[in-house]
Structure 1
Amino acid sequence: MKRRHWLACCGGAALGAGLFTSLGARSWRNACRGPLPADLAADELVAAALDGLDPARLVDTHAHLLGTGDAGSGCRIHPHLTQAWHPVEHLRRRAILNGACVAEDALSIDTAYVDRLVALAAEFPAGARWWLFAFDEAHDDDGRMRHAWTTFHVPDRWAATVAARHPAHFDWVASVHPYRADAAERLDAALAAGAVALKWLPSAMNIDLADARCRPLYDRLARAGRPLIVHCGAEHAVPGAGRQGLGNPLAVRHPLARGTPVIVAHCASLGRMPDTDRRSAPQRPAFELFARLMDEGHDRLFGDISAVFQRNRGAEVWRTLLRREAWHSRLLHGSDHPLPGVVPLFSLPALQRAGLLADDDAPVLDRLRHHNPLLFDLVLQRRLRDGAARLPAAVFEARALDLLRLPR
């Protein structure tokens, strides 16, 4: 089995760290070394990455909140994540907590997670912002909440609370399952409370983008000029309901047809999906189907580049995103926090072998990710080049959002 396929099957994102069954091994753990030392903050590589960016426009459009509810957040995780007799799930939790630099025995996981995120954000130039995601429960086809299918849950009110407590750094993204009986009312309340977008992960939550119950939410988002952030492509970090086929990027034509702005998370850069345009055709890479949509010229279709430079993506994906200048005005920076802190997920040598990362950049980047994974992710994305092709400042300044009516 090819290494990349093995990584994808065994846990493409956070779960990828579970391959390295000894998370105690220092080489695979984030050292969580604390604040940036002065010499690293002033390093010319970091300075060059920030140079030319307007801090007041710097936006990370894909960052997760997580918690256990131990501080009244209402968050929860699936019980298997804490049970050693479910080793894959148990390792998933350990990897995520290490990536977030939250001690497993912290007095409050809720509080420690947010405190660490605030500390990371404070090391960026003033004005930089992060979109923090709520994450709704999975529901079955009859609209019943299914705790057993829910890998983790972050209620809207917690995301809104964290953003309100730290208005200099954060906005929040709602998550409302469309099969809820009160879905429209919940979305109305979230938009009124300042949510900048709506987040769905169809395969984990069990959401069919073609379902008629989605349409009232599409219409509300279209009227408000707020985007739907939808995960497309394969999903391994959050198995949830396990409905991988619901992540087909071609399905986003349904919200697009109703005028809804859509941000395809990760540019659908992982896995294969049926080519529903050609019923008899074999499955195609999800990224190829995303590219088809991008080339169709939908003016409300965007992609975020969170996680796309992880080791379980291929060099063809990396090069396409760097080279396709016609796409750049519709691409958005995202980190998929806390995943940049999960050390095994990123292979700097693989990016070097692909000719996209200078050898001299790797030592600073490797050091940076043990201090500030968010800054590591930004600097990495800024340094990648395929010849003269690179991601422009507009991707990191979220210029694509100028097409929408979003507060900044």
Structure 2
Amino acid sequence: MSPRRRLLIGGFALGGLALSGLVARRSPALFNTCRAQLPAATAADELIQSAWAGVDPARFLDCHVHLVGTGDSGSGIEVNPQMESLFHPLQYAQRLFYLNAGCVHDAPGRIDDSYVERMQNLIDGLRPGARLLLFAFDRFHDSDGRADPQRSSFYTPNAYARAVAARHPQYFAWAASIHPYRADCVEELAAAVASGAQAVKWLPPAMGIDPSSPRCDRFYAALASYGLPLISHAGEEQAVHGADQQAFGNPLLLRRALDQGVRVVVAHCASMGSAVDVDQGPDGVQRSCFDLFARLMGEARYEHLLFADISALTQRNRSEEVVRAVIERSEWHPRLLNGSDYPLPGIVPLTSPAEFATRGMLPQAAVGVLETVRQHNPLLFDFVLKRQLSSGAHHFSPSIFETRGFFERKAA
């Protein structure tokens, strides 16, 4: 983990009990105060009104939202015990920040339900028609396709994601998570498609998936036949522990899926870390994951297969150069999809509007408004911040925020 990320989250893990006290006091400098309705003056601010200019809310689908909890509703969610142990202060701290970001730290016994209710409240604070794509999350599996809960950070069953979306279709769609080494992966995919899943979500470094492995081929063939997109993390992973196999975050490993006709969405534009340039062979030099991702985006054969989401790009552990590059590469914008990485926008230290203003990428007058918005609605905060960001004369295109059609395409 990078020193900066340790400062932003791990640095607060000086003691679990002390951190719990800070959460209880809800210092707005560190924690989301979890207020509800925006103040009327803020809701009417031109900054928010202009953010929706050119964006049809009915086509707005935040395509990167984590469905988490503790399993207290009978959902089947599992959380690694290390995240609840003071003997693992970093993971303990992360858990407290995640609970606060989702505004469920004051909901003992009903965290699962409160997390969903909070998301509904936040969507109500957007515009009518806006929806979220909720991620299931499969366990770590070994090379023989056996699940290993001890090496899994958390587990959100497909059945639970499906049920939440079915109960609240005006708010949510859902994405399945299926490990491709599972013996039943193709059957599970068929069941997910039949139940309305709009994508499959992978986090290879934490789940133990090598996207370039022949073990994935039968799953890729099924994905391509259904026309279902694969949303796969690429780049260094820092938020979720598990297998910790960072080499599996190499974006070049996704060539195998692309070459079999799978539509691939590279989460976060592979905006962190470095990886071996395997195009030069297994002993290739290390290059930034973002540069390797940019190489793939430049290959004409992948023009209609390779996409990326812009979730997490505004976090402080992303370099200014990467953020500017994504904003300025307007030829990429038709292939970019908006995602928030919720609940992370609710973790106050992770994103700093003031830093963007100092860089000249955000109007100084926007900082105070955005900070107020974040304390009430992190989803709206993430959206407005991205809509206001600039690099010179360049902005994120409004089309990036109209992602619903991408996920509603028919099978190939």
TM-score bin, normalised by smaller chain: over 0.9
Q: Is the 8 A contact 1:331 1:400 kept in 2?
A: no
Residue in 2 that maps onto 1:318? 323
Aligned partners of 2:367, 2:201: CA distance in 1, in Å? Answer: 33
Aligned residue in 1 for 2:239: 237
Q: Does 1:6 align with 2:14?
A: no
Q: Percent identity?
A: 47
**Displacement after TM superposition at 1:244 (Å):** 0.5
2:187 maps to 185
* Corresponding letter in the other structure for 2:397: P
- Structure 1 unmatched runs, 5+: none
Equivalent-residue separation in structure 1 for 2:363 and 2:237 (angstroms): 30
Change in 2 beyond 3 A, CA 1:182/1:94? same
- State the distance in 1 between where 2:407 and 2:83 align: 40
Q: Residue 162 in 1 paired to residue 164 in 2?
A: yes
What are the Cα deviations for residues 88-126 of structure 1, in whole angstroms up to 9, with x where unaligned? Answer: 111010010111111255231111111111111111111
Deviant stretches of 4+, over 4 Å: none
1:277 CA drift (Å): 1.4
8 Å Cα contact 1:332-1:400 kept in structure 2: no
Cα distance in 1 between the residues matched to 2:97 and 2:377? 16
- Comparing 57-66 with 101-110, which one deviates more in the overlay? 101-110
Q: Which runs of 5+ in 2 are unaligned?
A: none
Indicate if the aligned counterparts of 1:329 and 1:400 stay in contact, CA closer than 8 A. Answer: no
Q: 2:293 aligns with which of 290, 293, 302?
A: 290
TM-score, normalization by structure 1: 0.94
Once the two structures are TM-superposed, the CA of residue 281 in structure 1 deviates from its matched residue by: 4.2
Alignment correspondent of 2:266: 264
Cross-structure match for 1:305: 310
Determine if contact 1:218/1:258 at 8 Å carries over to the other structure.
yes
- Cα offset for 1:180? 1.0
Aligned to 2:121: 119
1:101 corresponds to: 103
Residue 402 of structure 1, CA deviation: 7.7
Pairing of 1:3-402 with structure 2 (within 5 A): 5-8=2-5, 10=6, 16-21=8-13, 23=19, 24=22, 26=27, 27-279=29-281, 280-297=283-300, 298=302, 299-398=304-403, 401=406
**For structure 1, which segment, 294-303 or 18-27, has the greater mean C-alpha deviation from structure 2 after superposition?**
18-27
1:370 match: secondary structure = helix
**May I ask how many residue pairs the two structures share in their alignment?**
398
Q: Which amino acid aligns with 1:291?
A: A
Q: CA 1:86–1:104 in structure 2 vs 1: closer, same or farther (change >3 Å)?
A: farther
Code of the aligned partner of 1:294: M
SS at 2:278's partner residue?
coil
Distance 2:287 2:408 in 1: 31
CA RMSD of aligned residues (A): 1.7
Residues in 2 aligned to 1:381 and 1:63: alpha-carbon distance in whole angstroms: 16
CA distance, structure 1, for counterparts of residue 249 and residue 355 of structure 2: 27
CA distance in 2, matches of 1:390, 1:60: 19
Amino acid at match of 1:332: L
